[in-house]
Amino acid sequence: MQLQQSLYAPGKGWRTLAGDLQAVEAGLVLVFGLRRLLAESAVLTVLRERFPSARLVLASTAGNFADTQIEDAALVCTAMKLESATLRTTCAHIGTEPDLGAVCRRLVADLAGEGLRHVVVFSDGGLVNGTVLSESFNACLPAGVSLSGGLAGDGTEFAQTLVGLDSAPSTGMVVAIGLYGEALRIGFGSAGGWTTFGPVRTVTAARSNVLHRLDNRPALEIYKTYLGPEAAALPAAALRFPLCLQEPGQGNAIVRTILSIDDAAGTMTFAGDIPVGAQVRLMRASHEDLIAGAEEAARQAVQNASLVLCVSCVGRRIVLGHRTEEELEGVRAAFGPGPMLTGFYSYGELAPSGRAGACQLHNQTMTITSLSEVVA
C-alpha cells in the first residue's frame, strides 16, 4: 500500500505532509474538511487536477486529522494505491430513495464480488439514522465481511453535512468503499471513556431515533433540568452529557448523543435509535478518561498497519478542548511511528465493538480501522 497525505487550503495551495506516493498514481483519495471548505465551487476541480485517476471520496467534518494534528483551515487529503488488494466505490442519495434499508441493499449489491473483505462507509450525519444504516449493512453483507466508517459532521453548527463521490458533495449522500483480496489485513478498535451518573430512567415513549418521554415525563424537560444554565446552548451543550443506553436483553451498553431538539414537542433526536423499554443514564467524562479511551481503542486495533483511520465524536473534541490532540497522540503511541494516521470528528462512528462482532453505531467514542496489505 502506497500512501500520500497532503493539505489543500484555498488561497495557499497544496502542501504534502507525508508519504511517497505520487499524486497522479493514486487510486483512492479520502478528502476530509469543514463544510464551508468542501462547499467551495472550485474544490472538485482542484482535487481532480492533483489526483486525475483517483476515486474521490469527500466528507464534511467537525475537525480533520492530519497525523496527530487537528486541521480546520485546510482539506486533509489521504491518497492511496493498493498493490495486491483492489477496491470499488459506489454511492446513493437517500432523497431519491428514502428507504435507508433499500439504499444499503443496493450499495452492497453494487460491491458484491469475489474476495470482498471489508466495506468503509461515509454518510450524511444529519439525515441518516446511523442505527438503521449499520443494521441494514450487517443484514445484507456476506458472512465474514466487516464494516466501519462514520457519519459526516458540521462542526457544532448542526446545519447540514456533505458527502460526495467524484462529484460536488451534497446532503443526503451515502458513499461505500469495498476492499477486496486475501492480502488485506484489517483491525478495529472502539472505546469511549465516559462514566454514568444520576438515576436510571426508562424510555417510555420514542419513535426510531426521536426520544419523547423518560419515566412518562417529557425527555427534554428532564434533560434540561440536569443541564441547568447550559440548557440554553442546546443541542451543542448535550455533547458534554450523552446517554448510556441499555436495551432489554442486550449485554453491552451503547452511547447515544443528541443531534437536535424540538422545544415545542419536548423531544430530542439522536444519531441512533432509542428503543422503548431501554434504560438510560446520563454520562460525563474527564479529559484523562477520554484520552485513555482513545488509547484503549488503539490497543484493540493495533497491528502492523499502513493506514489508520480514526473517527471520533465531536463531543469528545468539545470536552477535551485544548487537550484534543492528546487523544491522537495516544493513538500514535500505540501504533508507533510507522502507519499514516487520518480521520475526522464526526456525528456518529461506525465500527465493530472491539476485535470482533458486527458493526454498531457508536457515539462519543474513538473508533479505529487499521489497514495494511501483505504483498507476496
Domain boundaries, the chain: 2-191+289-373, 195-284
Per-residue pLDDT at 64? 97
- Tell whether the torsion through CA atoms of 165, 166, 169 and 170 is positive or negative: negative
Per-residue pLDDT at 72? 95
What strands, in cross-sheet order, belong to the sheet with 184-191?
A: 69-71, 64-66, 340-346, 307-313, 366-373, 184-191
Q: Residue 336 class from Cβ within 10 Å (0-12 exposed, 13-18 middle, 19+ buried)?
A: exposed
Alpha-helix runs per DSSP H in 4-125: 35-38, 43-50, 100-111
Q: What is the pLDDT along the chain (376 residues), one digit of tens a residue?
A: 999 999 999 989 999 999 999 999 999 999 999 999 999 989 999 999 999 999 999 999 999 999 999 999 999 999 999 999 999 999 999 876 678 999 999 999 999 999 999 999 999 998 888 889 999 999 999 999 999 999 999 998 888 999 999 999 999 999 999 999 999 999 999 988 888 988 999 999 999 899 999 999 999 999 898 888 888 888 778 778 889 998 877 767 788 888 788 999 999 998 788 999 999 999 888 899 999 999 999 999 887 899 999 999 998 998 899 999 999 999 999 999 999 999 999 999 999 975 447 898 998 899 999 999 987 6
Three cell numbers written together for 133: 444504516
Per-residue pLDDT at 376? 65
